[in-house]
């Protein structure tokens, strides 16, 4: 039996998200691939991360770029072959890097064989594998449910003379999880990858697996409550309380089925993406009792609000409700504007703020998802309408430009002789942002004070800090723009303070600690001497110190 710390490697882990289409193109077709990830494993290892989460690489028509799966057990030729994945697993494990893969369980592609059979008639073997419903007497949709990508969540299928449910694109029909055969088949696909040796799963939209059997209408949401969590506020989806098209009580039993399967493979982990009307409460519920998901994360810190009050209240609310489970935090991912732009008041990239944000993210209690390029301080890319690929952005342009701006290729080279920043030698599927090329890995590698090297230094140091990996968190009363908290584990205590503004801030440390503090990490106006109690944090400065008991 493995030691407990080996089984619980994911607690306090930093998980590096790779969006494979945009990471590294190894075969010069303009799209990143599995061999590209293998080529960059040394780089990933240099970041002192514990695991790689790889966004979907399964066979797909790519209407939603892999989140519409037509074969859960096959590699899409765009990304390589199964031998490439086996090699990736082997070489990552040799470097002590875990591999987490996306599993998109709530829906399939409309080109999946299950759906192609299900849509034919109402009597075939897969007839009840998707959510089908009759039209209303006037021919309109069965209820008022809406798709996240705009418009009704129902699509007419003339072969059956019924509507099918799609919470996302029309090409992503929702499976009927009320059918036990569906759950068995879905878990069979999960088991396939466990047998391949993966270390865990990021479960996409996991609270969408079940729908309300009665198909009740969602109630309207008043305008002042229409705040987006990963979607545009002018999207009609924000006009409803989504009480019935997701997050149903039956889903808890399915979470237990997932956990029971993973428990047969010690050391594997489940990370659920959750977007509900009360995502923090759902996260706590889905990770409670030690018999459901290991971790959950939501869009709560992927919003525009960058205030001390919001960050503190969000974390504290989860801490108060998640008494048994384990949180996972992210500031960026493949679905939202990059944090370097989103949380800068001027919408520009400030290198010092980028360093501070990685330190803040990885100092919160829980595990962390770090999105590729976040370690470089990449901001949101400008993508012209003619270059857009994301159907979400195309639909809602120009008020909402979609997700392409955070999905542009990773910049590896900075010199002008390197085509497309070293991502590919041919035209990439999305253009490389010119500003990103100036922040390329090769350029930052040679600069001791670069965002990349500062983040490497911090993440390597963090790996040795039990208080940050496993400790409790207790916030300290401070005024905007200072966020401060203690992280404590047994005798190890760290005082963490972050200046979220572009103006210097001064603190009297004696107000926060009755014992002397020894500086460990940070960016301050000058080194803190043992006798000093006044600390000045420059713009976006931070300070982490050990309490000397």
Q: Which residues are catalytic?
A: 204, 273
Question: Could you tell me where the beta strands, DSSP code E, fall in 50-148?
Answer: 51-54, 58-59, 71-75, 98-103, 132-133
User: Could you tell me if 153 and 164 are in contact, meaning their C-beta atoms sit under 8 angstroms apart?
Assistant: no
Rounded to a whole number of angstroms, the CA Rg of the chain reads 23
CB-facing half-sphere around the CA of 84: CA atoms within 13 A:
20
Tally of residues, the chain: 549
Structure tokens at 322: 């998640």
Torsion of CA 200, 201, 202, 205, to 10 degrees: -150
Helix%, strand%, coil% for the chain, nearest 5: 30, 20, 50
User: Could you tell me if 401 and 382 are in contact, meaning their C-beta atoms sit under 8 angstroms apart?
Assistant: no
Query: Kindly report the CA angle at 501 between 453 and 308, in degrees rounded to 5?
Result: 105
Residue 140 phi/psi, 5-degree rounding, is -80, 175
DSSP state letters, 469-488: HH-EEEE----TTEEEEEEE
Q: Report d(CA 405, CA 463) in Å as an integer.
A: 31
User: Could you tell me if 15 and 50 are in contact, meaning their C-beta atoms sit under 8 angstroms apart?
Assistant: yes
Q: Report d(CA 19, CA 224) in Å as an integer.
A: 34
């Amino acid at each position: 039996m493995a030691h407990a710390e080996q089984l619980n490697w994911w607690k306090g882990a930093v998980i590096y998200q790779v969006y494979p289409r945009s990471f590294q193109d190894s075969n010069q077709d303009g799209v990143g691939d599995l061999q590209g990830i293998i080529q960059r494993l040394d780089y990933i290892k240099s970041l002192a991360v514990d695991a790689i989460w790889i966004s979907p690489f399964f066979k797909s028509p790519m209407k939603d770029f892999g989140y519409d799966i037509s074969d859960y057990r096959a590699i899409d030729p765009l990304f390589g072959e199964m031998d490439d994945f086996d090699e990736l697993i082997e070489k990552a494990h040799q470097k002590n890097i875990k591999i987490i893969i996306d599993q998109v369980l709530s829906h399939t592609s409309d080109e999946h064989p299950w759906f192609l059979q299900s849509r034919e008639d109402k009597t075939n073997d897969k007839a009840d594998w998707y959510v089908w419903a009759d039209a209303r007497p006037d021919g309109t949709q069965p209820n008022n449910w809406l798709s996240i990508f705009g418009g009704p969540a129902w699509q007419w299928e003339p072969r059956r003379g019924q509507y099918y449910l799609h919470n996302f694109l029309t090409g992503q029909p929702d499976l009927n999880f009320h059918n036990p055969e569906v759950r068995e088949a879905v878990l069979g696909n999960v088991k396939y990858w466990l047998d391949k040796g993966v270390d865990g799963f990021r479960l996409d939209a996991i609270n969408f697996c079940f729908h309300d059997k009665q198909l009740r209408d969602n109630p309207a949401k008043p305008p002042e409550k229409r705040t987006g969590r990963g979607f545009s506020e002018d999207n009609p989806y924000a006009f409803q309380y989504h009480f019935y098209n997701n997050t149903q009580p039956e889903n808890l039993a399915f979470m237990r089925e997932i956990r029971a399967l993973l428990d047969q493979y010690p050391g594997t982990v489940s990370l659920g993406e959750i977007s509900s009307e009360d995502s923090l409460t759902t996260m706590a519920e889905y990770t409670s009792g030690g018999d459901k998901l290991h971790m959950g994360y939501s869009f709560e810190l992927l919003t525009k609000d960058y205030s001390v009050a919001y960050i503190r209240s969000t974390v504290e609310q989860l801490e108060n409700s998640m008494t048994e489970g384990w949180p996972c935090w992210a500031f960026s991912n493949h679905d939202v504007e990059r944090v370097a732009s989103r949380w800068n008041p001027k919408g520009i990239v400030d290198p010092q703020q980028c360093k501070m944000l990685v330190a803040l993210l990885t100092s919160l209690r829980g595990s962390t998802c770090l999105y590729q390029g976040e370690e470089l301080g990449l901001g949101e890319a400008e993508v012209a309408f003619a270059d857009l690929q994301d159907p979400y952005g195309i639909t809602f342009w120009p008020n909402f430009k979609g997700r392409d701006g955070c999905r542009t290729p990773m910049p590896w080279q900075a010199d002008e002789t390197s085509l497309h920043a070293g991502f590919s030698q041919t035209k990439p599927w999305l253009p490389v942002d010119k500003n990103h090329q100036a922040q390329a890995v090769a350029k930052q590698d040679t600069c001791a004070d670069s965002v990349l090297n500062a983040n490497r230094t911090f993440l390597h140091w963090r790996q040795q800090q039990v208080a940050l990996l496993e400790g409790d968190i207790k916030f300290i009363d401070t005024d905007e723009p200072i966020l401060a908290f203690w992280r404590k584990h047994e005798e190890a205590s760290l005082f963490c303070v972050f200046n979220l503004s572009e103006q210097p801030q001064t603190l009297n440390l004696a107000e926060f600690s009755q014992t002397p503090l020894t500086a460990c990490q940070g960016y301050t106006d000058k080194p803190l001497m043992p006798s000093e109690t006044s600390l000045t944090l420059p713009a976006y400065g931070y300070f982490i110190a050990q309490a000397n008991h």
